[in-house]
Chains A and B, each alone.
Chain A
Amino acid sequence: MNSKVMDLKKIEVWDGNMAASQAFRQADVDVVAAYPITPSTPVVENYATFEANGYIDGEFVMVESEHAAMSACVGAAAAGGRVATATSSQGFALMVEVLYQAAGMRLPIVLAQVNRALAAPLNVNGDHSDMYLGRDSGWINISTFSPQEVYDLTLCAFKIAEHLDVRIPVNINQDGFMSSHTAQNIRTLDDKTACDFIGPYKAVNAMLDFSKPVTHGVQTEEDWHFEHKAKQHDAMMRSRKVIDEVFAEFKELTGREYKAVESYGMEDAEVAIVAFGTTYETAKIVVDRLKEEGIKAGIISPRVFRPFPLEDLSAQLQNVKAIACMDRSAPGGSVGALYNEISGALFNSPARPVLSNIIYGLGGRDMTVSTLTEIYKDLVKEAQSGKLNGTIQRFVGVRGPELNYYNA
């Protein structure tokens, strides 16, 4: 715990960026190395302000690029301490090389990622292009829907990443502006409770432990590379157990419950939307209204995007008749990633729902209650007829002629 305590009210008004900054501060991070980029800049600015006012005992290194930020994080983590950073979009793209290295070297770094579109055209608003870009990088990816969740799950992220059975970096995603710049009431933990929940950092193969010299970042070719990558995947798959445990521990402490797959209204749902981020919150409102109309609607989200909770999703979607998989990322010449993953989850199961892919919200285009209502109403028709209304993929909320692809 940092030596200077910040007195927090039980409920503070924070946006998602402040929630991430406060979680970093309470985690008593040893080294934060970062570079500012919209919309995650305030995470770094808030942290700098904490430091300037004596609330940070660790080192805060303002580097010259996001690539350098993640490089310094890797060096610092290998040296043997708690490390975190924040970024978005182009910055995340610049980091990608080192993200793979952080994961391959099994360094438990925490990244607060404020999701934003990828250029071109340049755009500072929220979509999930950057989250999708990093999905094979070997990081645990967790999706949040609100500033409260950013706070809670960033605290959990340190505990998950640093667990001795895990040692995998964790990326906590939140929607640019919709979460990062939207102030809400946040139920806080006091500094000691938060820091105790995470626990002390457990060093593994620390470069600053000179009793046991260690070589990080070796060369492996066809003789060993596959074994290393296989073990890395295995560790990721096994991390799910720890993620569930940490979520359970957090619930015990706060009463706030998190699950690898979040769902609302799914108990009896005949139509369902699968989506990440703040869209989940909007859909909850729509689900409530539709239930009043007698429509059995539900919303489901892989809170944990990696390791992908394939079995949980499949189990919860068995009785659904029509599903729209909503991807907030330009699919680049195929169906969206979420559509692919849900298809994969269901293919070996008995369920054969009508499955459509909606591309929406690129570059911060709003997904409103009324548009979601229309999507659900279309799903109802598909559930009744047992077949797609049109093509598998369609773009929703884009101006110009309709864009529909892939016939069933």
Chain B
Amino acid sequence: MFKILKYSFYDLIRSRWSYVYFLFYLALGFVLLFLNNDVSKAVITLMNVIIVLIPLIGTIFGVMYYYNSREFTELLLAQPIKRSSIFMGQYFGVAGSLTLSLVLGLGIPFVLYGLLRSNAIFDFSLLLVTGAFLTFIFVGLSFVIAISNENKIKGFGYAVLLWLFLAVVYDGLFLMSLIVFEEYPLDTFSLVATMLNPIDLSRILILLKLDISALLGYTGAIFKQFFGTNLGFFISLVILLLWTVLPILGLRYKAMKKDF
């Protein structure tokens, strides 16, 4: 598995897209800090970018990589290597290189602009950790989609639809249902619904640090317990971890079953 991981990883590190992705974050970081000159404000802006763009790029990159390396995969499958290690190796290679681009691309400008001396360092590291989680989750989901669909166009379509659904449509449906059922006690429902979407979950995780004063404005015992203590933070982290593990397990299962 590690050999495959190494091959995929180095293959990607050398590829043009990784550089583009890295340079994009580098430019974003520098521009944000140059325009704001205030690390805390830049962290807020960055949050919007992270919870929307990272899933999109993770999805597209994952699908693209899977379809492009299909022939190589088939070649590997002919060798006496375990199936799971081939796919796991590829998965971790892609997700790892994307995460590296993200961390370096955003980390360098922030460190240069005096992040280490600012007290936003915790918010910022949380942002990067969430970004890494989202990369792993969405690369995993896109691999599952790609492995289930032979047709490239279909696979791409489903992957982009998945992103669109989780990033925008889900929140719309969520909001509608909250307003339609406003007569009922909704705090448990709204928290559970948040947990069911990794993008919402990461958003809440970051909000717990940035907008905690607003989140505490609503009267509700469950909310108060969730947002007012460290409970919410830990539960969100655990579920995010669960969200990372689930696609990987799905990928393993699909890889075992699939007839190439």
- Chain B binds chain A: no
Chain B interface residues toward A at CB < 8 A: none
